[in-house]
């Protein structure tokens, strides 16, 4: 493939309700949809999953735009790429900025799969025909969180994740376990604890959680290893894992028993697959994380989660959980807690250009 043109569609999508984590709230969701066009005029799609402020990682929509425009796109224009797994080495001279890199790398994977008339899932080496889905409940009044779990339970979701922080965790988990003693439940602290809070963390062992996600600082896998020694509950790392090297270190130190893989956070699907393979080798189960994304990343997530070691339901919900109308011709639907992995070419969902036009903040063509 020769990359002829890259179009950045910067959009703003209305969230049905604001989403609250320990350290940030997302109101409307801005996103940059990345369209990569080759010399045959065929398009592949990816998405910048950074937020407008750097609460989850250091990147933002604006830093990604800058990196794409001034550094990443110039490296790709008019370049012949024979496989998307060449992109990480093309990007090697640009440090970090993983979400910026992943957005265009994902688009090239979609394009490559389309050109080979294969699904993205098969192209990545996926083996599942359907994936199991979990859902995330943001921090809110306890009764509201319980009502949401009731509803999602009826919808068939197979795993429930609640956002927590040290000041509300026990109240939330106690309240939920009183009503739902047996549901598959986990908690995501988004780095809101420190090792000094180990007593508070130890209390969470009482709630039969599948895992606790990212309790401590993102750059502290040493303290995560100390915490994992003390806690019965498995630790899952999210923010701490931005490369496959981080995974090797975390496994060697014993910092976690589970890993959440997000292609955006680790710089793309090539690295995500590498992490998947390392974890499989070390019997560390993985699941696919979410970023309150549009259907484009959701479709990529479905393909990624079809790989063999994604044995835990991911944060992959229906389009309708967050959006009135997604950017795809066909909305993504969870049925009986599962999504069928599409077998159409590329990501398997067609982009809805009319909707994208309606949501546009700005458009830039390179």
Residue 188 in the binding site for Mg ion (CB under 5 A):
yes
Residue 188 in the binding site for ligand OSB (CB under 6 A):
yes
Residue 293 in the binding site for Mg ion (CB under 5 A):
no
Return the residues of window 316-355 that contact ligand OSB according to CB under 6 A.
Answer: 317
Region of 255 (left: φ > 0; alpha: ψ -120 to 50; beta: rest) is alpha
DSSP state of 282: T
β-sheet bridge partners, residue 335: 338
Q: What is the DSSP string of 118-138?
A: -BHHHHHT---SEEEB-EEE-
Question: Which is nearer to ligand OSB, 30 or 315 (by Cβ)?
Answer: 315
| Catalytic-labelled residue, pool 114, 163, 257, 321 | 163
The 246-285 site mask, x for binding ligand OSB (CB under 6 A), equals ----------------------------------------
> Which alpha helices (H) appear in the chain, and where do they start and end?
61-67, 73-76, 87-90, 98-115, 120-124, 142-155, 169-179, 198-203, 221-230, 244-253, 263-266, 269-281, 295-304, 319-322, 353-359
Which residues contact residue 240 at a Cβ distance below 8 angstroms, ignoring those fewer than 6 apart? 214, 218, 219, 220, 221, 224, 246, 250, 255, 256
Q: What is the rounded CA–CA span in Å between residue 132 and residue 312?
A: 8
Return the residues of window 195-214 that contact Mg ion according to CB under 5 A.
Answer: 213
Active site (annotated) includes residue 262: yes
Cβ 90 to ligand OSB, closest distance in Å? 27
Active site (annotated) includes residue 340: no
Cβ 187 to ligand OSB, closest distance in Å? 11
From Mg ion, ligand OSB, none, which one binds at residue 355 (CB under 5 to 8 Å depending on kind)? Answer: none
Cβ 189 to Mg ion, closest distance in Å? 8
Angle between helix 269-281 and helix 295-304 axes, rounded to 10 deg? 30
Cβ 164 to Mg ion, closest distance in Å? 11
Given candidates 76, 136, 139, 296, which one binds ligand OSB under the rule CB under 6 A? 136
Q: Catalytic residues, which ones?
A: 163, 262
Rule CB under 6 A: which residues touch ligand OSB? Answer: 56, 136, 188, 190, 238, 289-292, 315, 317
């Amino acid at each position: 493939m020769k990359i002829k043109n890259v179009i950045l569609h910067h959009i703003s999508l209305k969230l049905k309700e604001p989403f609250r984590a320990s350290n940030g709230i997302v109101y409307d969701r801005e996103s940059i949809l990345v369209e990569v066009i080759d010399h045959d005029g065929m398009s592949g799609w990816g998405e910048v999953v950074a937020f407008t402020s750097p609460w989850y990682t250091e990147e933002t929509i604006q830093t990604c735009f800058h990196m794409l425009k001034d550094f990443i796109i110039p490296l790709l224009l008019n370049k012949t790429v024979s496989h998307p797994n060449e992109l990480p080495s093309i990007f090697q001279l640009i440090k970090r900025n993983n979400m910026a890199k992943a957005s265009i790398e994902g688009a090239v994977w979609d394009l490559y799969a389309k050109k080979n008339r294969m699904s993205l899932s098969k192209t990545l080496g996926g083996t599942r025909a359907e994936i199991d889905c979990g859902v995330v409940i943001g921090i809110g009044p306890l009764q509201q969180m319980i009502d949401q779990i009731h509803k999602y339970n009826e919808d068939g979701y197979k795993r429930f994740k609640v956002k927590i922080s040290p000041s509300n965790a026990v109240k939330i988990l106690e309240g939920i376990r009183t009503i739902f003693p047996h549901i598959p439940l986990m908690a995501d602290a988004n780095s809101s604890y420190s090792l000094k809070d180990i007593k508070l963390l130890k209390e969470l062992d009482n709630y039969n959680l599948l895992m606790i996600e990212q309790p401590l600082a993102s750059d502290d896998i040493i303290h995560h290893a100390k915490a994992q020694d003390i806690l019965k509950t498995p630790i899952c790392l999210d923010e701490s894992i931005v490369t496959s090297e981080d995974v090797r270190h975390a496994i060697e130190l014993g910092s976690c028993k589970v890993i959440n893989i997000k292609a955006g956070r680790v710089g793309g699907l090539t690295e995500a697959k590498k992490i998947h393979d390392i974890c499989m080798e070390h019997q560390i189960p993985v699941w696919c994380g979410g970023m309150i994304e549009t259907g484009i990343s959701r479709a990529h997530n479905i393909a990624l989660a079809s790989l063999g070691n994604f044995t835990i339901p991911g944060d992959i919900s229906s389009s309708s959980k967050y959006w009135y109308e997604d950017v795809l011709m066909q909305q993504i639907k969870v049925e009986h807690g599962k999504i069928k992995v599409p077998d159409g070419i590329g990501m398997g969902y067609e982009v809805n250009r009319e909707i994208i036009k309606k949501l546009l903040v700005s458009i830039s063509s390179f």
